[in-house]
Amino acid sequence: MIDFNVNQETCTKCGQCSSDCPARIITMASGYPTITQENGANCYRCQHCLSICPTASISILGYDPKNSLTLKGKLPDTSQMELLIKGRRAVRQYKPENIESDVMKKLLEVACYAPTGRNSRQVRFTVIDNRATLIEIRDEMMAKLVKTSREVGFPAGMESFSNYVKQWEEEGTDFIFRGAPHFIVASAPKSVVTPVEDCLIALTTFELYAQTLGIGTVWDGLAKWLINDLFPEFKSRLGIPEAMAAGAKEAAAQVQAQAATISGLSSYITRVTYGLPYPASIIGNRIAAVNQQISARSTTAITLAQLTQGNANEAGTRAQMITRMLPGGR
């Protein structure tokens, strides 16, 4: 059920919702916008009808326009967006403190609005939200790397790990996580149209918003390499489902890029729904059992840390794996 409702007292019968509907399922045959039960099955769940209505007369999927955020006069200007995008940098030096849990939740909430191919909305975030746990995992990885370096060596194309191991043994340099207190993995089922692209877009959204909060990030291609190719046993250690292929920022050129189209319709969008249909669940040790029920996925990873001053909440030594569905919107 898509729960499509029209407030006939405020609806002006302008038909904008019908003309903008990408699935073409909204009709104006009765004068007011209508979606038949049969056509409802073809709904993209994009919420365009709610967003475009100039009088806030449409609710759908349980969203009430009264609880939405209006966009007029509130969007950043072009120079601000240009500065945000051009000013982004990879950060490899971090403060030894955890990000506050409320800040992390806000980061994930905003990242959940990233678009996905065909509005599949099946990107999930798995987070190590405690520095002590990430250090423990790093030490386990380094022990395996040292053993591999001494006993069998590294596969072709990964010879550079020998230098990294040397730096670790001689200087204690953390080249995997760069001393970051947190690690986040985005994953999506391989069955969706664009699993790798969906993850990359979600993490890019996460990264850009993190900058506005004074939080630095870096795309962790080395960690992705280790987890996906050298030591796949760490997938279960991190609560990531089996049979996952990885894609990180460095690999973006190897996958087919998504095309973006620009049309005049964006100028009519007046509001954005606020809140998520799939609330975050912090499920701790149950993450592995839950994820075993999820189909094969494609993953990519990013490390992050807070650059601003402030006290952080310690969450203990065990990672809390936070899993959330993308609400999305196309």
The secondary structure of 313-326, three-state, reads CCCCCCCCCEECCC
Residues 271-290: tens digit of each pLDDT: 444 433 333 333 332 232 22
Q: Are residues 118 and 242 in the same domain?
A: yes
Segment 84-103 shows an average pLDDT of 89
Who has greater pLDDT, 275 or 54? 54
Which residues have C-beta within 8 Å of that of residue 16, sequence separation ≥ 6?
52, 53, 54, 268
The confidence score (pLDDT) of residue 250 equals: 24
Segment 310-322 shows an average pLDDT of 33
Residue 114 near residue 258, CB atoms below 8 Å: no
CATH number of the CATH domain containing 61 = 3.30.70.20
The confidence score (pLDDT) of residue 304 equals: 57
Residues 168-177: tens digit of each pLDDT: 999 999 999 9
Phi and psi angles of residue 205, each rounded to the nearest 5 degrees, phi first: -60, -45
Of 123, 283, 158, residue with least CA distance to 231: 158
Lowest mean pLDDT across 143-152, 193-202, 214-223, 285-294: 285-294
In a domain, 60, yes or no: yes
Segment 293-317 shows an average pLDDT of 41
Residue 309 near residue 271, CB atoms below 8 Å: no
Segment 306-311 shows an average pLDDT of 36
Write the CA distances from 212 to 68, 184, 199, 235, 308, integer angstroms. 22, 18, 21, 31, 11
Q: Are residues 89 and 57 in the same domain?
A: no
Phi and psi angles of residue 249, each rounded to the nearest 5 degrees, phi first: -60, -40
Write the CA distances from 295 to 198, 242, 277, integer angstroms. 16, 9, 21
Q: Are residues 170 and 289 in the same domain?
A: yes
The confidence score (pLDDT) of residue 300 equals: 57
Nearest-5° Cα angle at 116, 249 to 1: 155
Q: Kindly tell me if the per-residue pLDDT of 37 is higher than 50.
A: yes
Question: Residue 125 — very low, low, confident or very high, per pLDDT cuts 50/70/90?
Answer: confident
In a domain, 51, yes or no: yes
Q: Are residues 55 and 90 in the same domain?
A: no
Q: Are residues 45 and 121 in the same domain?
A: no
Q: Kindly tell me if the per-residue pLDDT of 249 is higher than 50.
A: no
Predicted TM-score of the model (pTM): 0.74
Q: Are residues 161 and 35 in the same domain?
A: no
Q: Which of 6-20, 211-225, 261-275 has the highest mean pLDDT?
A: 6-20
Mean pLDDT, the chain, whole residue set = 75
Q: Kindly tell me if the per-residue pLDDT of 57 is higher than 90.
A: yes
Cα(238)–Cα(184) distance, integer angstroms: 10
Domain boundary residue among 16, 48, 67? 67
Q: Kindly tell me if the per-residue pLDDT of 309 is higher than 80.
A: no
Q: Are residues 95 and 45 in the same domain?
A: no
Segment 14-36 shows an average pLDDT of 94
Domain boundary residue among 67, 84, 102? 67
Segment 210-238 shows an average pLDDT of 87
Cα(206)–Cα(304) distance, integer angstroms: 10
Segment 117-146 shows an average pLDDT of 89
Residue-number span of the structural domain to which 53 is assigned: 1-67
The confidence score (pLDDT) of residue 126 equals: 83
Q: Kindly tell me if the per-residue pLDDT of 254 is higher than 50.
A: no
Q: Kindly tell me if the per-residue pLDDT of 70 is higher than 70.
A: yes
Q: Are residues 174 and 246 in the same domain?
A: yes
Segment 221-227 shows an average pLDDT of 88
Q: Are residues 247 and 204 in the same domain?
A: yes
Who has greater pLDDT, 238 or 125? 125
Who has greater pLDDT, 44 or 247? 44
Domain boundary residue among 67, 84, 104? 67
Q: How many domains does the chain have?
A: 2
